[in-house]
Amino acid sequence: MLRIIVVTALIALPSMAQAQVTYRCTDTAGKKYYGSTIPMQCVGHPVEQLNSQGLVVRRIDPVGDEKARAEKEAAAAKAKDQEAASKEDLRRGRALLATYTSERDIEEARKRALEDNEGAVRDVEMKIEALKKKRSGYERDIALYKDPATKKGDVPFRLTSDLRNAEIDMKAQEDLLTAKKKEVIVINGKYDEDKKRYMELTRTSSTK
């Protein structure tokens, strides 16, 4: 009978100990709060879980937990970005090797790109010269109307509109010309980078 009582008591111990779990926290004013469940005053503050002997068995830190979660998510996002960048670099490397068979191929491609750019620059320059001539013609016609000696009357609206449109078109072409000339730097930068990467890839494959 005594053995049955002892066994029953031992079985009950975990539930008794669990029932005696206490939560404790300290607010910003230094006041302590206790409870069998986490007190409302402890929300947002670090909480200590005490066993039946009053010993701390667990610490709950909402701020620390949130910081750790944020750091974990940031690390995962960074790793994902690095993996994506690595895959993209591998893809571009394969595409580069599929496009060129030698450094000479890269230089020939550069030459063609620069020649295309030069042709585009010449086309824009020709358009600008044509627009300048048109503008000069409109200005001469307007000057005739404004000259009292000609007695041609008021300047027609169509003439002033044509002059304004010519100036707008010329400004657009001049902006385009500036952009086309700057493309030379972009083109050379691209093929410099392609050549450098190509040399790295071919050197690495040759040493394997």
pLDDT interval class at 165 (50, 70, 90): very high
Residue 179's CB: how many other CB atoms inside 10 A?
12
Q: Are residues 106 and 54 in the same domain?
A: no
153 assigned to some structural domain: yes
Strand order in the sheet with 22-26: 32-35, 22-26, 47-50, 56-60
pLDDT interval class at 199 (50, 70, 90): very high
**Confidence check: pLDDT of 16 > 70:** no
Q: Are residues 44 and 130 in the same domain?
A: no
Which domain range does residue 26 map to? 2-60
pLDDT tens-digit series, residues 91-117: 989 999 999 999 999 999 999 999 999
Cβ atoms 113, 191 nearer than 8 A: yes
Runs of H (alpha helix) within the chain: 2-19, 62-99, 103-146, 157-207
Q: Are residues 108 and 203 in the same domain?
A: yes
92 assigned to some structural domain: no
Q: Are residues 106 and 171 in the same domain?
A: yes
Does the predicted TM-score (pTM) go above 0.85?
no
**Domains held by the chain: number:** 2
**pLDDT-above-90 percentage for the chain:** 48
Average pLDDT over residues 121-126: 97
pLDDT interval class at 4 (50, 70, 90): very low
Average pLDDT over residues 116-138: 96
65 assigned to some structural domain: no
Q: Are residues 51 and 106 in the same domain?
A: no
* Residue scoring higher pLDDT (22 or 63): 22
